[in-house]
Amino acid sequence: MEGEQKRYFSSDELRKHNVATDLWISIQGKVYDVTGWLNDHPGGDLPLRNLAGQDVTDAFVAYHPGSAWKHLDRFLIGHLSDYEVSDVSKDYRRLVGEFSKMGLFEKKGHISGVTLVLIAVLLSAAVYGVFFSSCALMHLVCGGMVGFLWIQSGWMGHDSGHYKIVKNAKLNRFVQIVTGNCLTGINIAWWKRNHNAHHIACNSLEFDPDLQHMPIFAVSSRLFSSLTSYFYERKMNFDAVARFLVSYQHWTFYPVMCFARINLFAQSILLLLSNKKVPNRWLEILGVTVFWVWYPLLVSCLPNWVERLMFVVASFAVSGIQHVQFCLNHFSSSVYVGPPAGNDWFEKQTMGTLNISCSPWMDWFHGGLQFQVEHHLFPRLPRCQLRKVAPFVRELCKKHKLAYSTASFWEANVMTVRTLRTAALQAQDLSNPVPKNLVWEAVNTHG
Residue 445 predicted with pLDDT over 50: no
Tell me the CATH number for domain 8-84. 3.10.120.10
Q: Which residues pair with 407 in a beta bridge?
A: 356
1 pLDDT band, cuts 50/70/90, is very low
447 pLDDT band, cuts 50/70/90, is very low
165 pLDDT band, cuts 50/70/90, is confident
> Rounded mean pLDDT of the chain?
92
- Cβ contacts of residue 288 below 8 Å, gap of 6+? 181, 185, 186, 187, 268, 269, 272
**What percent of the chain lies above the pLDDT cut of 90?**
83
Give 5's DSSP letter.
Answer: P
- pLDDT tens digit sequence for 16-75: 999 999 999 999 999 999 999 998 898 889 999 999 999 999 999 999 998 899 999 999
Residue 341 burial by Cβ neighbours in a 10 Å radius (0-12, 13-18, 19+):
middle
- The mean-pLDDT minimum among 85-94, 268-277, 393-402, 431-440 falls in 431-440
- Cβ contacts of residue 306 below 8 Å, gap of 6+? 136
Residue 108 burial by Cβ neighbours in a 10 Å radius (0-12, 13-18, 19+):
buried
77 pLDDT band, cuts 50/70/90, is very high
- pLDDT tens digit sequence for 185-223: 999 999 999 999 999 999 999 999 999 999 999 999 999
Residue 8 predicted with pLDDT over 80: yes
Q: At what angle do helices 305-328 and 136-162 cross, to 10 degrees?
A: 30
Q: What is the pLDDT averaged over residues 102-110?
A: 91
What's the rounded Cα separation, in Å, for the pair 368 and 361? 12
Compute the residue count for the chain.
447
User: What ranges do the domains of the chain cover?
Assistant: 8-84, 85-447
Q: HSE on the CB side for 349, CA within 13 Å?
A: 25
